[in-house]
Chain A
Amino acid sequence: MKLKFAAVALGALLAAGPVLAELVFPDLSYRTGPYAANVIPFSDGYQDYFTLVNERDGGIGGVKARVLECETGYNTEKGVECYEATKGEGALIYQPLSTGITYQVIPKASADGIPVHSMGYGRTSAKNGRVFEWVFNYPANYWDGASIAVNHLLDQNAGDLSGKTIALVYHNSAYGKEPIRTLEELAKKHGFTLSLLPVDHPGQEQKSQWLQIRQQRPDYVLMWGWGVMNQVAIQEAANIRFPMENFIGIWWSGSENDVRPVGARANGYKALNMHAVGADFPVFADMQKYVMDAGKAAGAGDQMGTVLYNRGMYAAMLAVEAAKTAQQIHGTPDITAAMMRDGMETLVIDAAKMGSLGLAGFGPEFAVSCENHGGNGFGTVTQWDAAAGIWTQITDYVQSDQQVIGMLVAEDSAAYAAENGITGRCD
Chain B
Amino acid sequence: MLYREAGDFKTSYAQDNQTFPLKLDRFGYYCILGVAVFVIPFVINDYWVNAVFLPFLIYAIAAIGLNILVGYCGQLSLGTGGFMAVGAYACYKLMTAFPEISILVHVLLAGGITAAVGVVFGLPSLRIKGFYLAVATLAAQFFLVWLFNRVAWFYNYSASGQISAPERAVLGVNITGANVEPWAAYLFCLAFLVASAWIARNLTRGATGRRWMAIRDMDIAAEIIGVNPLRAKLSAFAVSSFFVGIAGALFFAVYLGAVEVGEAFGIQKSFLVLFMVIIGGLGSIFGSFAGAAFMVLLPVFLKNALVGGLGWPTDLATHLEIMIVGALIIIFLIVEPHGFAQLWRITKEKLRLWPFPH
A residues with a Cβ closer than 8 A to B are 2-3, 6-7, 9-10, 13-14, 16, 29, 31-32, 36, 40, 69-71, 73, 75-77, 80-81, 83-85, 87-88, 99-100, 103-104, 107-108, 110-111, 123-125, 172-175, 177-178, 180-181, 198, 200-201, 412, 415, 419-421
Contact = CB atoms under 8 A, between A and B. Distances in A.
A10 B159 contact: no
Interface residues of B, number: 48
A87 B46 contact: yes
B47 A103 contact: no
A3 B308 contact: no
B258 A80 contact: no
Interface string B243-279: 0000000000001111110111010000000000000
B266 A201 contact: yes
A32 B299 CA distance: 15
B162 interface: yes
A7 B319 contact: no
B160 interface: yes
A111 B51 contact: no
12 contacts: A6-B297, A16-B309, A84-B46, A85-B304, A87-B46, A87-B47, A103-B162, A104-B257, A172-B149, A173-B161, A201-B263, A420-B177
Contact of A10 (B290, B293, B300, B314): B300
A81 B300 contact: yes
Contact of B262 (A3, A172, A415): A172
Interface of B: 45-47, 50-52, 55, 149, 158-162, 164, 166-167, 177-179, 255-260, 262-264, 266, 290, 293, 297-298, 300-301, 303-305, 307-309, 313-315, 317-319, 322
A177 B159 contact: yes
A13 to B, nearest CB: 5
A420 B167 contact: yes
B178 A32 contact: no
Q: By CB atoms of chain A within 10 A, which of B293, B301, B308 has the most?
A: B308
**B interface, by DSSP: helix, strand, loop or mixed?**
helix
Given A80-B256, A174-B260, A200-B262, A69 B160 contact: no
B340 to A, nearest CB: 8
A107 B256 contact: no
A412 B157 CA distance: 11
Contacts of A71: 303, 307, 314-315, 317-318
Nearest to A108: B178
Contact of B309 (A13, A40, A77): A13
Nearest to B49: A84
A177 B161 contact: yes
Contacts of B162: 100, 103, 174
A177 B158 CA distance: 10
A118 B55 CA distance: 26
Contacts of B301: 6, 9-10
Q: By CB atoms of chain A within 10 A, which of B45, B55, B149, B318 has the most?
A: B318
Contacts of A77: 55, 256, 264
Contacts of A180: 159
Given A107-B177, A178-B160, A173 B263 contact: yes
B256 A7 contact: no
B50 A84 contact: yes
B259 A412 contact: no
A169 to B, nearest CB: 16
B186 to A, nearest CB: 13
A419 B166 contact: yes
Given A10-B52, A81-B50, A200-B262, A104 B318 contact: no
B230 to A, nearest CB: 35
B34 to A, nearest CB: 14
A10 B51 CA distance: 11
Contacts of B266: 201
A180 B81 CA distance: 27
B231 to A, nearest CB: 37
Contacts of B256: 76-77, 80, 104
A364 to B, nearest CB: 25
Given A31-B314, A87-B46, A14 B308 contact: yes
Nearest to A32: B318
A31 B315 CA distance: 5
Contact of B160 (A7, A84, A88, A174): A174
A112 B319 CA distance: 32
Contact of B159 (A9, A80, A412): A412
Given A16-B309, A177-B159, 8 more contacts: A2-B293, A6-B297, A9-B305, A71-B318, A99-B160, A100-B258, A111-B178, A178-B159
Contacts of A85: 47, 51, 304, 308
A100 B159 contact: no
Given A103-B162, A103-B258, A31 B318 contact: yes
Nearest to B145: A200
Contacts of B259: 76
Q: By CB atoms of chain B within 10 A, which of A36, A77, A178, A201 has the most?
A: A77
Contacts of B317: 71
Contacts of B319: 32
A71 B315 CA distance: 7
B297 A181 contact: no
B217 to A, nearest CB: 30
